[in-house]
């Protein structure tokens, strides 16, 4: 990709890559990701990208502005991601929380000396559905959606070993039968084959966590499925606790554990 003779700067391209990877983002998430000096610099750059047709702006519940990459942006940066045409309120909230989780562990694990990378749901979807017309891609996605992680985390410790973690973020509770079927048909073979070291399930509803714990306890390798609360840093916007120059007091909790990454 050549940006010489273009009106875009390298940081514009980096913004677009992050937006496309995430699906939907807020200005605050971009501010955190790139450690900008102030939020106004983020808004100025986003305004320029919007004027050039590379991002569009929508309001979430008439309160929070979100930014979405366009197909023009994807073509420009040659990103292997799906681009949302129309998003439900649930999808937007889900994607925003997944990006928050990725940012949290990027900062949190860096302080612990643990290498971190991740694949977003948009990248995983693109790999899963491949090429073809929209109708066939949608059909393929719906057939495989239970086998597509919400995200994949890669954690590399000091000895160079990398763990591949399947990430699930649950907002709405499913029937117990669906949990039982997915855990047996999807998680059991993924863990038994060694494709994934662990599954991390994030949920703040007691009912969801109970359903997940019930399902995982039926599996021989259910101990590799961890259930965690969404970190308070995310829910209460206490990012100073994990940012490079901030304090480090935040912890995640779940099932009596101190949280993943320990």
Phi and psi torsions of 130, nearest 5°: 65, -150
- The answer regarding whether domain 1-87 maps to CATH 1.10.10.10 reads yes
- Provide the residue-wise pLDDT of the chain in tens; the chain has 262 residues: 556 646 789 999 999 999 999 999 999 999 999 999 999 999 999 999 999 999 999 987 667 899 999 999 999 999 999 898 788 888 899 999 999 999 999 999 998 889 999 999 999 988 877 655 555 555 555 556 668 899 999 999 878 899 999 999 999 999 999 999 999 999 999 999 999 999 999 999 999 999 999 999 999 999 999 999 999 999 999 999 999 875 433 333 334 343 554 3
- pLDDT for the residue numbered 63: 79
Residue 199 CB neighbours (<10 A): 23
Q: Do residues 148 and 125 lie in contact, with contact meaning Cβ atoms separated by under 8 Å?
A: yes
- pLDDT for the residue numbered 250: 35
- pLDDT for the residue numbered 185: 93
Domain map of the chain by residue range?
1-87, 96-262
- pLDDT for the residue numbered 1: 58
CB-based burial, 234-252: b 16+ in 10 Å, e otherwise: beeebbebbbeeeeeebeb
C-alpha distances in Å from residue 64, one per residue of 30, 190, 225? 14, 37, 33
- pLDDT for the residue numbered 3: 62
CB-based burial, 57-79: b 16+ in 10 Å, e otherwise: eeeeeeeeebbbbbeebbebbeb
Q: Edge-to-edge strands of the sheet including 24-25?
A: 24-25, 64-69, 55-60
What DSSP designation does 154 have?
E
């Amino acid at each position: 990709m050549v940006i010489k003779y273009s009106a875009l700067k390298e940081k514009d391209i980096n913004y677009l890559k992050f937006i496309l990877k995430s699906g939907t983002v807020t200005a605050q998430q971009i501010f955190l990701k790139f450690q900008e000096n102030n939020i106004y610099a983020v808004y100025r750059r986003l305004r320029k990208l919007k004027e050039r047709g590379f991002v569009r702006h929508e309001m979430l519940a008439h309160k929070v502005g979100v930014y979405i990459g366009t197909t023009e942006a994807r073509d420009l940066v040659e990103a292997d991601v799906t681009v949302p045409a129309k998003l439900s309120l649930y999808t937007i909230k889900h994607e925003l929380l997944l990006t928050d989780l990725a940012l949290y562990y990027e900062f949190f694990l860096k302080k612990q000396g643990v290498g971190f990378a991740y694949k977003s749901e948009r990248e995983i979807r693109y790999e899963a559905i491949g090429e073809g017309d929209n109708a066939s891609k949608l059909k393929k996605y719906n057939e495989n959606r239970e086998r597509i992680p919400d995200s994949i985390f890669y954690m590399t410790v000091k000895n160079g070993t990398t763990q591949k973690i399947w990430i699930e973020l649950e907002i709405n509770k499913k029937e117990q039968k669906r949990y039982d079927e997915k855990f047996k048909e999807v998680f059991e073979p993924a863990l038994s084959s060694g494709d994934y070291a662990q599954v991390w399930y994030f949920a703040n509803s007691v009912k969801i966590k109970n359903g997940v714990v019930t399902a995982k306890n039926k599996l021989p390798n259910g101990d590799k499925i961890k259930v965690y609360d969404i970190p308070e840093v995310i829910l209460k916007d206490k990012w100073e606790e994990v940012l490079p120059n901030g304090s480090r007091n935040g912890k995640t909790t779940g099932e009596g554990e101190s949280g993943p990454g320990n």
